[in-house]
Chains A and B, each alone.
Chain A
Amino acid sequence: MKNEIKKITKIIDEVINYFMFHYKPFVAMTIDCKGDTFFISFVFKDLKLSDEEFDKIKSKFKLNRRVEIEDYYWQLVGDSENASEFTLVSLMSDEIQFSKDDESVYLTITRKKSKK
């Protein structure tokens, strides 16, 4: 499927944009491509999110992937500084894990290539 890499970079843009705008943390990121699946992992070090902030972001990541929405609206991902487009990130992802501990925040996004 076309635009697959663009979609991955847009998702990364969106995440980085949001966290840099609000917290300016130290960010470590890896992208791993295994077969038809991309794993994008972020570690935001020295970032302490309040429970309220954490839950607000996490609630955006609870949605299932929707191809019928994704292919229309994916171009909007990546240019917003608030969390509203995390909804779209969620609609473009097969699995999202979002967690935190006393020192860092962890985000892993799994996205399979669109079905052919």
Chain B
Amino acid sequence: MSEKANLSFIFILPILLILTALLTTPLDAIFSGLYKIILSKSILFTDYIEIGGFGAALFNAGLCGLIACILIVILKIYVSGPFIAAVFTIIGFAFFGKNIFNIWPIFIGGFIFAKIQKAPLKQYFLISLFGTTLAPLISFLAFGAGFSKLYGILIGWIIGIIVGFILPPLAAHMLKFHSGYNLYNTGFTGGIIGSFVTAVLRAFDIVIENEKILNETYDVFFKIYFLCFFIFLLLLSFLFSIFDLKKLKISLKKILESPGRLISDFILIGGLRVTIFNMGVMGCISLIFLTLIGGKINGPIIGAILTVVGFSAFGKHPKNTVQILIGVYLASTIKIYGSNIFIIALCGLFSTTLAPIAGKYGFFAGIIAGFFHLSVVMNVGILHGGVNLYNNGFAGGFVAACLIPVIYALSKEKED
């Protein structure tokens, strides 16, 4: 498959979402909803479907994805697995925290860092894309911290640019903490920065309180909508492979053999066709998991599903994720969070950030990772007050850092 095909592929979902919004919602309702989304604090969990309405939420998600794709084109970046993961993650989180107002400062900060380093602008763009995990910090300072609107926007953007500026060296450094076994590494970095900033804000009596604004009205619609999209991905991969199904099988074997540890770029390992196939399969698995536990789709759950699908180009496949889901489910049956289906669904889907542990150390290691992840994720959010959207990435970093040395010491692979 050509470089052009990779690039075209990332445009599909943003365009689909924008078209869906335009076909289902009047234009004035979309723009008034978008305005409400922009003015929201966007702290975890702020479901944009509830804040701005169905059409505006879809439009915002599509637009954020489109901005990322256009910047990728302008910067002449080769679209490989990490960039597919980043685009899908941005789209997913644009249902509950990222919007066309609060993602820009992070990008600008990254570009300034590249300029100061005298490096090409594209050099740190991947980190900036994932770095929009801290976008709610900008919205909160602009519209939720009690400043006047103009002053708040100014402070929000300045802090956002600073955050975007410091992210590249920090994100690279934080990888060492979990040795690449936590796929959402920027989430871990964002958690550290978010905790730092939140602590400083608390010292000035600016308190960030978690939100829980959810809308599950469109559960059935989104389940059918995304199921159709994932089936479309499967069909697309078959269509590309119609004359060479044997090659698809060989490529799939290569992907399934990969432990998924950073960096496992499935585009480089198996090519676009099989990557799309894996993304379709993982999307279906996510929907099956959600349905089996009785979960309903809302903004955050869409974010979780699309993140799983995106990272199915960059580390996740059925062989290294299902056991993590089982681990989270088992934990939910004996822990106090068992009655909260939303939390189990969200943590379950996002817990697949630990897929490399299962991929590298096997089925039971995956179950253990999922089991502990549920507890850790419920206790780290308070540190950053909800300004870090990838809370599971933050928790996953701690789980991986604690488990990996022990599992490695006990594993059979160890020599001497």
Contacts and interface: CB of A to CB of B under 8 A. Distances in A.
Interface residues of A, number: 23
A88 B119 contact: no
B125 interface: yes
B118 A116 contact: yes
Contact of A75 (B175, B258, B269): B175
Given A68-B123, A87-B268, A73 B179 contact: no
Interface in B249-282: 258-259, 261-265, 268-269
Given A76-B262, A84-B261, A114-B119, A68 B125 contact: yes
Interface string A55-97: 0000000010011110111111001110010011000000000
Given A74-B172, A84-B258, A115-B120, A68 B263 contact: no
A75 B178 CA distance: 11
Nearest to B130: A72
Contacts of A72: 82, 124, 126-127, 168, 171-172, 175
B118 A67 contact: no
Interface size class of B (residues with CB under 8 A): 20 to 34
Given A63-B268, A68-B123, A73 B118 contact: no
B36 interface: no
Tell me the interface secondary structure of chain B in the complex: loop
Centre residue among A2, A72, A80, A115 by max chain B CB count within 10 A: A72
Contacts of A28: none
Tell me the interface secondary structure of chain A in the complex: helix
Given A1-B119, A68-B122, A73 B261 contact: no
Interface in B286-308: none
B335 interface: no
Given A67-B120, A68-B125, A68-B126, A76 B82 contact: no
Given A68-B122, A72-B171, A80-B261, 10 more contacts: A63-B268, A66-B80, A67-B120, A69-B80, A73-B263, A75-B175, A79-B179, A81-B413, A84-B259, A115-B119
Interface of A: 1-2, 21, 63, 66-69, 71-76, 79-81, 84, 87-88, 114-116
29 contacts: A66-B80, A67-B119, A67-B122, A67-B123, A68-B78, A68-B122, A69-B126, A69-B263, A69-B265, A71-B119, A71-B168, A71-B172, A72-B126, A72-B127, A72-B168, A72-B171, A73-B263, A75-B173, A75-B175, A76-B179, A79-B179, A87-B265, A87-B268, A87-B269, A88-B263, A114-B119, A115-B119, A115-B120, A116-B119
